[in-house]
Amino acid sequence: MPQKKYLFISIAIFLFLSFVLYKSWATEKSCFDRDSVGYDQIACDFVQNNTLTDTHHPSLIPIQPIGYPFFVGLIYKVFGYNYLIVIFIQVLLSILSLYLVFSMANSLFGPQIASISAILCAINLGMLVYAQTFLTESILLLFILLSAERMVNFLKTQKNISILLSGFFLGVSILIKSSALILFFFIPPLLMFYKIPFKKRILATLLFIISFSAPVLAYMEGNRRKYEFFSIAPLKRLNMYYVFLSKVIAQKENISEKEAYSKIPFFDRQNRFDARGWDKAKKLFWQHTTETPFTCLYVWLKNVSKTLFGLFSTQMKIIVSKNFRGGDLSFFREEGDFFKRAISYITKGANSNAVKLIAFLEAFWTVFRYLMVLIAFILLIQMGEFWMAIIFAIVIASLSVITGFDGCCRYRIIFEPLLIILTAIGILASYGWLFGKKVKIHNNLP
């Protein structure tokens, strides 16, 4: 079957499954999670007053960057207050994300890997679920993929416009959510060591830094003028001195996180950017990290494991169940041995046998998928593609490790495409080894 037919089949499957998921909504606002209300309020305020502020505290900077409320607000301005239109557009943009994964996989490893990757995207529960959730993830994923696809194009063609767009798209993603900010510190050094002429390396690195910095610095300057601080968002300190610290205290004192929250001095300044407002919490944070560093490390790694192994079906349960909300379910809050916890984590909150079946299938797929990822890394190393293996490993490791303050499958979505491509490599390689078939897996980059 010609390569493009797999792409069209994948899109058709994604649209069909998206329709099935939409018809399974438990309520008219099943797309709303805990953070959705805040995004919706800021978007509505943008429609009414052309300002992107926290409606309850208009003089304070919103905790999150305002890229997603701006996106939603523009849709409201054009189509009126209709969150179903937002979800419809997110589904369409997720199809574009599917295409970008297909395009990258084809550019890197050829049509067979591209075709398998497209099919895996079409049935990926995370891409399906977050397209129908009033959260940043689907738009954030799109801009990160746009950046990655242009980067791959640059590595193949050395066109300056491609590296400019790659940096710009990654910079815009920071205005939606700063998750990928860490990549800015890895990409320039990697560009400097790539096997192209030295002058092109220098120019590419400078162009990437400039194009990335342009939207980020412009946003920070806007914050300086409005809120007096040259910064992106105040979320980082909140995550460390409140979200993460509460988990450390809960682990250390064997109490609930709710009880631990009450032991943390909360922010006490008017301006959310003012770091002095966290001085008391910061002092408590360093007290715990110096007294019990291994407890902190354990909590951080536990949270990273939530990101790597959490099930997207947990988010799906929020959509298809009336009484299930975000944060209601965690493997580590269940009781019993590992298998009892796993069964409870998989089945809890499921309102039908179909949902339970999907959750069990996803759990099995998660184990199988990481086996395929391991095989893919082994194959890349055997092929002598150390450079490619290192890039994939660095991106996956960095984007997962930074989530240790909390941990959630939601945070995995931004590097899910890399896992999908590696899984496709592992599947094709395993097929060849099992059936003695010749498979073509090669690096198409120069």
What is d(CA 60, CA 227) in angstroms, rounded to the nearest whole number? 7
- pTM of the prediction? 0.94
Per-residue pLDDT of the chain (446 residues; tens, 9 = 90+): 457 899 999 999 999 999 999 999 999 889 998 889 889 999 998 998 888 887 666 666 777 889 999 999 999 999 999 999 999 999 999 999 999 999 999 999 999 999 999 999 999 999 999 999 999 999 999 999 999 999 999 999 999 999 999 999 999 999 999 989 999 999 999 898 888 888 999 999 999 999 999 999 999 999 888 888 888 887 888 899 999 999 999 999 999 888 998 999 988 887 778 888 889 999 999 999 999 999 999 999 999 999 999 999 999 999 998 877 766 678 888 888 888 999 999 998 888 899 999 999 999 999 999 999 999 999 999 888 888 899 999 999 999 999 999 989 999 999 999 999 999 999 999 998 888 777 767 777 76
